[in-house]
């Protein structure tokens, strides 16, 4: 059930309470983490049709879908955003906003520079030269969401790691409903060093980046969050291009004791709920009375929120407050949920940090709200969702780089390792493999 704005002032939004002391907790918890927050929507066939049309018809298909979904005729203006448009948009931005962008960009760049991997070259005990080298991709495509909200921060988070990795060509696509763009998004693109900006979005934009369309040349990697159609399009073009991940709805999990201000924790929980009705916010605490105060604080803040309907739906339908007997029991639950964002608002977050394996980003202490990670902390805010933190990492410079192995033998080294290679080739029934080694051993 969704509540309208007027209803919200009349009644509280109920959130699911799970108590570890309840006999059915294990089954209730398993059902909670398994729930489908996308409501089972299958957009794969729609997306497949869009991609097929773009591959077949190129820019004509992109124009068709732009008119259908974003409600403007792309033929009336160039698909590419011009430098003059970017400069005019920047002039519309408040100086304080531009300063905040520059502050964030500098911190993001500094953090990602420390992620750059090192090349390695050595000679082993048999005289074989071995090693690896890292090189960046030639071109990357960045998807910047439009839709419900425009996110200049996502532009910085997607583009700066690519630039730090050394990518020479960065092409950004962003939906522009009614041909309107957020000026701060364009200002962020300018500061991040993006080379090309195209006023298209949706699955058609992903297809254009992967296969090319008109003046849009193909890229090697596509990154950035989007709606279900964008996520599915990235899934379908993977293999033609690399992708960062198939992102799902936003998530936050807060582990908090009763020493926290409930208003602080409520605001943290709503910071993700306000993204989308399919978002999820979870509180784990060992204090039942504190849990109730947080629930009340959430309802109070919802009543005053400009994104009330969105956040209320996420809070009521997808979220939970989990009450444990002791906070020592929290790490196992955290690892089972594998959240995108994890806040440890407790006395000794470092100790609990050492017991947790699965989370996209971890925020330590009572004074580290998730929002600082979204904007200015430095680490990337493009993170694994839907329990993908069990096996995946957030966006980094490595998403724009690839490692090449290096192997070198002289005659003496081949004499030492070649016979075993030839034997294994014989065992696998690949005679030319074996002969390519033995012909050299005959020297």
Dump pLDDT digits (tens) for 386-427. 999 999 999 999 999 999 999 999 999 999 999 999 999 999
pLDDT beyond 60 at 2 = no
Mean pLDDT value across the chain: 93
The per-residue pLDDT for 39 is: 61
The per-residue pLDDT for 13 is: 61
- Residue 387 and residue 253 in contact, taking contact as beta carbons nearer than 8 Å: no
Catalytic pick among 196, 316, 340, 343: 340
Please, what is the angle between helix 95-113 and helix 183-192, to 10°? 40
The per-residue pLDDT for 146 is: 75
pLDDT band at 12 (very low <50, low <70, confident <90, very high): low
**DSSP secondary structure code for residue 76 in this structure:** G
pLDDT band at 384 (very low <50, low <70, confident <90, very high): very high
Our answer to whether residue 94 is catalytic in this structure is no
pLDDT beyond 80 at 147 = no
pLDDT beyond 80 at 81 = yes
Q: Across the chain, which distance is largest between two alpha carbons, in Å? A: 90
Report how far residue 283's alpha carbon sits from residue 339's, in angstroms, rounded to the nearest whole number: 12
pLDDT above 90: percentage of residues in the chain: 87
The per-residue pLDDT for 3 is: 39
The per-residue pLDDT for 5 is: 40
Q: What is the mean pLDDT of residues 81-91?
A: 94
**DSSP secondary structure code for residue 117 in this structure:** P
pLDDT beyond 80 at 339 = yes
Q: Which domains does the chain have, with CATH numbers?
A: 5-31+248-390 (3.40.50.1980), 44-119+135-243 (3.40.50.1980), 409-441 (no CATH)
Q: Which structure tokens are listed for 37?
A: 């927050």
In angstroms, the Cα distances linking 331 to 154, 323, 340 are: 29, 13, 15
Write the pLDDT tens digit of every residue in 341-350: 999 999 999 9
Write the pLDDT tens digit of every residue in 219-244: 999 999 888 899 999 999 999 999 99
Q: What is the mean pLDDT of residues 111-120?
A: 98
Write the pLDDT tens digit of every residue in 261-295: 999 999 999 999 999 999 999 999 999 999 999 99
Stretch among 30-44, 123-137, 301-315, 359-373 having the lowest mean pLDDT: 30-44
The per-residue pLDDT for 4 is: 43
Catalytic pick among 112, 341, 358, 381: 341
Our answer to whether residue 113 is catalytic in this structure is no
Report how far residue 108's alpha carbon sits from residue 285's, in angstroms, rounded to the nearest whole number: 32
Query: Which residue reads 């159609």 in tokens?
Result: 229
pLDDT beyond 60 at 1 = no
Q: Which structure tokens are listed for 361?
A: 């980003």
Q: What is the pTM of this model?
A: 0.91
Helix H or strand E segment including 418: helix 411-427
pLDDT band at 179 (very low <50, low <70, confident <90, very high): confident
pLDDT beyond 90 at 212 = yes
């Amino acid at each position: 059930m969704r509540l309208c704005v007027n209803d919200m002032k009349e009644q509280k939004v109920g959130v699911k309470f799970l108590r570890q002391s309840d006999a059915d907790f294990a089954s209730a918890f398993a059902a909670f983490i398994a729930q489908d927050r996308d409501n089972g929507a299958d957009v794969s066939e729609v997306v497949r049709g869009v991609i097929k049309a773009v591959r077949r018809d190129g820019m004509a298909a992109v124009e068709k879908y732009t008119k259908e979904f974003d409600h403007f005729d792309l033929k009336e203006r160039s698909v590419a955003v011009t430098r003059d448009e970017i400069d005019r948009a920047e002039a519309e931005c408040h100086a304080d906003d531009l300063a905040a962008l520059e502050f964030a960009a500098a911190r993001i760049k500094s953090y990602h520079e420390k992620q750059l991997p090192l090349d390695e070259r050595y000679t082993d005990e048999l005289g074989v030269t071995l090693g690896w080298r890292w090189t960046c991709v030639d071109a990357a495509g960045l998807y910047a969401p439009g839709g419900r909200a425009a996110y200049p921060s996502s532009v910085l988070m997607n583009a700066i790691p690519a630039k730090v990795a050394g990518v020479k060509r960065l092409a950004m696509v962003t939906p522009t409903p009614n041909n309107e763009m957020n000026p701060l998004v364009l200002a962020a693109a300018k500061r991040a060093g993006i080379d090309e900006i195209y006023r298209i979005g949706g699955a058609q934009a992903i297809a254009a980046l992967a296969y090319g369309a008109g003046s849009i040349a193909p890229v090697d990697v596509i990154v950035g969050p989007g709606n279900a159609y964008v996520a599915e399009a990235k899934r379908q073009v993977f293999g033609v291009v690399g992708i960062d991940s198939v992102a799902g709805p936003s998530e936050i999990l807060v582990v908090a004791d009763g020493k926290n201000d409930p208003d602080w924790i409520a605001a943290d929980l709503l910071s993700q709920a306000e993204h989308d009705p399919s978002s999820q916010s979870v509180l784990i605490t060992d204090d039942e009375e504190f849990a109730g105060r947080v629930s009340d604080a959430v309802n109070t803040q919802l009543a005053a929120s400009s994104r009330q309907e969105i956040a209320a739906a996420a809070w009521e339908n997808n979220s939970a407050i989990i009450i444990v007997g002791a906070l020592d029991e929290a790490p196992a639950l955290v690892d089972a949920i594998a959240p995108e964002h994890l806040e440890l608002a407790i006395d000794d977050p470092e100790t609990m940090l050492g017991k947790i394996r699965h989370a996209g980003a971890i925020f330590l202490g009572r004074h580290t709200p998730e929002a600082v990670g979204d904007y200015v902390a430095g680490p990337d805010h493009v993170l694994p969702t839907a329990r993908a933190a069990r096996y995946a990492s957030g966006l980094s410079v490595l998403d724009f780089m690839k490692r090449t192995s290096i192997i070198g033998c002289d005659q003496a080294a081949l004499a030492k390792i070649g016979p075993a290679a030839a034997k294994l080739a014989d065992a696998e029934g690949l005679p030319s493999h074996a002969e390519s080694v033995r012909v050299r051993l005959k020297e």
